């Protein structure tokens, strides 16, 4: 279309030149020169049109190549994103189990610290008792009074009964039976954190059998639930956590027991019961790590943190 317009324009210009030569008398040589210049201009216009067409063809080819390369890159990017999405999904699927294992290990380390602090307190009391005994002996020696033949006893010491049992925290251990409370509890923590769940279960069960009235008994009961949960025995886990909540109402393991009981119920498909336990954690233990985890799980389930109404 553009070429046609150029040709028409050239013809009009040529006709105008001819008409001008006819209207007024002009030298033939001048008319011929103008016609030659006009023809040259038309030729230049045609050549420019041809060059422009060639350039447009080249640009179109380049653009087509770029579009094809872009499509290829987009295809590769889509493939990469699909692989990355699958990897993220795999990580998310495994992160829950890993988080539970890490939580158990952290709690084990925390309880180890509590146990060490308890032992330090006992040692400190024993040192005070020993110091009092030494001062008493020094006073008697300085007063030339004969030292008694009996063995001094501290305020925490209770003689073993005649039957050979030793009372520990209100529970009597048969002579030659279970190891000490500290040994059983420490071994149980060590074995649960290293994944020796069957051995740890037996140690915590023995602890509860012989030392059920100690301060760490609720911890031992809680770890029985953790062992069952780690072995995917969620029915048993719910029962063990329930014993913490029922038998040890003042235990500092109440919040984690509620949380893990709810998690176990969700694993069993008991969504209503599990959501109720998680909401109880949010309500009763604000500001704790358990509350944060309960809120995150409720959000994942798409349910509000409080019951409607």
pLDDT for the residue numbered 154: 33
Per-residue pLDDT of the chain in tens (309 residues, 90 and over written 9): 665 666 676 666 666 655 655 555 556 777 788 888 888 888 888 888 788 878 888 887 888 888 788 888 888 887 888 778 777 676 665 665 566 666 666 666 767 666 676 666 667 566 656 655 655 554 454 444 343 333 333 333 233 333 333 334 444 444 456 689 999 999 999 999 999 999 999 999 999 999 999 999 999 999 999 999 999 999 999 999 999 999 999 999 999 999 999 999 999 999 999 999 999 999 999 999 999 999 999 999 999 988 776
Which residue(s) pair with 167 in the sheet? 172
Four-CA torsion 213, 215, 220, 221, nearest 10 degrees: 60
- Asked whether the beta carbons of 255 and 292 are under 8 A apart, the reply is no
In order of 36, 42, 290, the CA distances from 5 in angstroms are: 20, 11, 82
In order of 257, 272, 283, 303, the CA distances from 269 in angstroms are: 18, 9, 23, 15
pLDDT for the residue numbered 98: 64
Give this prediction's pTM: 0.49
């Amino acid at each position: 279309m553009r070429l046609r317009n150029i040709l028409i324009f050239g013809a009009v210009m040529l006709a105008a030149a001819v008409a001008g030569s006819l209207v007024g008398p002009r030298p033939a040589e001048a008319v011929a020169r103008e016609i030659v210049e006009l023809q040259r201009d038309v030729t230049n216009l045609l050549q420019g049109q041809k060059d422009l067409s060639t350039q447009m063809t080249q640009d179109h080819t380049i653009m087509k190549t770029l579009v094809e390369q872009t499509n290829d890159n987009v295809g590769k990017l889509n493939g990469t994103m699909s692989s990355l999405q699958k990897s993220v999904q795999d990580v998310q699927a495994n992160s829950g189990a890993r988080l539970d294992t890490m939580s158990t290990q952290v709690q084990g380390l925390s309880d180890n610290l509590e146990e060490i602090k308890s032992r330090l307190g006992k040692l400190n009391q024993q040192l005070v008792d020993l110091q009092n005994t030494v001062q008493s002996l020094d006073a008697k020696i300085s007063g030339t009074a004969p030292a008694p033949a009996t063995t001094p006893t501290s305020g925490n010491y209770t003689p073993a009964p005649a039957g050979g049992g030793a009372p520990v925290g209100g529970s009597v251990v048969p002579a030659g039976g279970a190891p000490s409370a500290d040994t059983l509890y420490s071994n149980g923590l060590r074995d649960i954190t290293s994944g020796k769940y069957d051995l740890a279960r037996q140690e915590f069960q023995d602890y509860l059998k012989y030392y059920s009235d100690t301060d760490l008994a609720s911890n031992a009961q809680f770890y029985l639930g953790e062992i069952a949960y780690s072995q995917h025995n969620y029915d048993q886990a719910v029962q063990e956590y329930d014993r913490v909540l029922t038998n040890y109402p003042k235990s500092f393991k109440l919040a984690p027991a509620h949380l893990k009981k709810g998690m176990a119920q969700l694993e069993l498909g008991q969504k209503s019961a599990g959501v109720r336990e998680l909401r109880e954690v949010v309500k009763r233990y604000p500001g704790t790590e358990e509350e944060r985890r309960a809120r995150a799980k409720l959000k994942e389930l798409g349910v509000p943190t409080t019951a409607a109404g």
